Amino acid sequence: MRTRLTVWPLPAVLTWGAAWILFKRLVEQGATPEVALGAACALGVLASVWGNTWWRRVLIAGGFPLSLALTFPTLGLAAVPAWAWLVPLLLLLLVYPLNAWRDAPLFPTPVQALDDLPLHAPLPEGALVLDAGCGLGHGLTALRRAYPQAALHGLEWSWPLRGWCAMRCPWARVRQGDIWRADWAGYDMVYLFQRPESMARAADKARAELRPGAWLVSLEFEATSLNPKAQFSAPGGKMVWLYQAPLIEPQGD
């Protein structure tokens, strides 16, 4: 659900203002410019998950260090070593590793998006369900609403995002790892909210690894190389695509 706090560019403006306040407060209390810079940049990078596209996340995270670089000579502070200006980039890469840029850019699953999933893909109690690329845990939360008796697992490449997800979802087993190298064979359902370019790879992996009867579920983006078992429109209009192993290609005309 959109709120006033998510209307662009308010997330960026609020983050930049908070980072400047933190920077100035730390300097006033005697912190070195390097320490103040690192803390303020960390705040910006943490807040960057607020953005819903990559370029917005970069702007949220990079606005403060850029404005500081432009105004630093007027602040009357000691010079910041050149290496310190790498802090925002290093923090950004820590939260969003390079391979994560090739997968989904932290798409959050709407909380009610999967409520009707059990009507189309019933699972037994204790079924193993994987959220592949769990981010901050929005998908796990939606899966828990749909399957409260399932054993939920999350897999996330970014160590910081994995840590936040584990704190937000203590009822799930959340691990750090590459969703493309992980074995999907043991799961009754694998849930994805990737991007269109990733779906062919996901279809090939699911076809090779999912056992008969297991499900591949994709929010919004269709695996066009697979024949869907079912599909439905979630609240908000996003489509949910369901594929059941053994996975087959669509029949030609």
For residue range 166-194, what is the model confidence (pLDDT) as tens digits?
A: 999 999 999 999 999 999 999 999 999 98
Residue 189, sorted as left (phi over 0), alpha (psi -120 to 50) or beta, turns out to be beta
Could you tell me if 121 and 215 lie in one domain? yes
**What percent of the chain lies above the pLDDT cut of 90?**
48
**Residue 148: domain span:** 117-244
The structure tokens 């970014």 sit at 158
Check whether residue 36 and residue 132 sit in a common domain.
Answer: no
User: Is the same domain home to 221 and 122?
Assistant: yes
Q: Please state, for a pLDDT cut of 70, what percent of the chain lies above it.
A: 79
Domain match, 85 and 137 both: no
What are the residue ranges of helices labelled H in the chain? Answer: 10-28, 33-47, 54-71, 87-95, 98-102, 117-120, 138-146, 159-168, 199-209
The gap between the terminal CA atoms of the chain, to the nearest Å, is 40
Residues 127 and 90 in one domain: no
> What pLDDT is recorded for position 144?
98
Residue where a domain stops, chosen among 44, 60, 95: 95
Residues 251, 54: Cα–Cα separation, whole Å: 37
Higher pLDDT, 164 or 94: 164
Residue 4 confidence (pLDDT) above 70? no
Write down which residue in 95, 125, 155 finishes a domain: 95
User: Please, are residues 226 and 249 in contact by the beta-carbon 8 Å criterion?
Assistant: yes
**Higher per-residue confidence, 126 vs 52:** 126
Provide the token pair at 38. Answer: 């690192």
Same domain, 50 and 153: no
- Per the structure, how many domains does the chain have? 2
Task: Assign 241 to helix, strand or coil.
Answer: strand
